[in-house]
Amino acid sequence: MKVDFEGTLTPVQEKAVKKIKESDLGILMAPPGAGKTVMACKLIADRKVSTLILVQRQPLLEQWKERISSFLKIPIKEIGTLSGSKRK
């Protein structure tokens, strides 16, 4: 997957991303508004891999799509989603 990160991380976010990149697996826990979605976009761009993102609610799905489009320059129409029993 060829994408570049089009954003800026805070020093705290940079530190978290660096730590996560030291391993193949991990969990990023941070309070609301800490920039978890932005950090994930940075990791997606750095690792250059297709990524599965699971969310519980439609508003979170829409937020992810907007952030992916904004930070990775992928058109929203090209972001695949699955929801309930319907495939979009």
How large is the average pLDDT for residues 3-12?
96
Give the model's pLDDT for residue 3: 94
| pLDDT for residue 87 is more than 70 | no
Give the model's pLDDT for residue 48: 92
- Domains of the chain, by residue range, sit at 11-87
Whole-prediction pTM: 0.87
Q: What are phi and psi of 67, to 5 degrees?
A: -70, -40
Cβ neighbourhood burial of 79 (10 Å; 0-12, 13-18, 19+): middle
Tens of pLDDT along 37-82?
Answer: 999 999 999 999 899 999 999 999 999 999 999 999 999 999 999 8
Name the residue among 31, 37, 38 with its Cα closest to residue 9: 38
